[in-house]
Structure 1
Amino acid sequence: MSESDDGGSRRGALIGLLVAAVMLAVGLWLAHDLTAASKMQDCLMSGRTNCNVIEPAR
């Protein structure tokens, strides 16, 4: 085995790790977005007309 084989193995592992991290980030963003949309739909389906998100005062 030469050193170039070892470097290629690490490169593939790093690319796989990067792809997994990107997929995790996109999944978390999508889950957050879908949760917010679901809460808005629940509010609107209950007949309320003011479903704006209220930010707490700091």
Structure 2
Amino acid sequence: MSDSEDGGGRRGALVGLLVAAVMLAVGLWLAHDLTAASKMQDCLMSGRTNCNVIEPAR
């Protein structure tokens, strides 16, 4: 095998790893966003009028 053939395989593997990492990050972001929306919807459906998230003072 020549060096150029070996480099192409590594490049493809790195591109695949990068695509998988981006998909994982987008999936985690989407899951977090959907969970927050679900919690807000549950709060509103229970009849509450103040469903704001209270952040603790630092």
Q: Runs of 4+ in structure 1 displaced over 4 angstroms?
A: none
Alignment of 1:5-44 (within 5 A): 5-44=5-44
Structure 1: unaligned runs, 5 residues or longer: none
The aligned length equals 58
Superposed CA deviations along residues 6-58 of structure 1, whole A, max 9, x for unmatched, are: 00000000000000000000000000000000000000000000000100111
Structure 2: unaligned runs, 5 residues or longer: none
For normalisation by structure 2, the TM-score amounts to 0.99
For normalisation by structure 1, the TM-score amounts to 0.99
* Percent identical: 93
CA RMSD, 1 decimal: 0.3
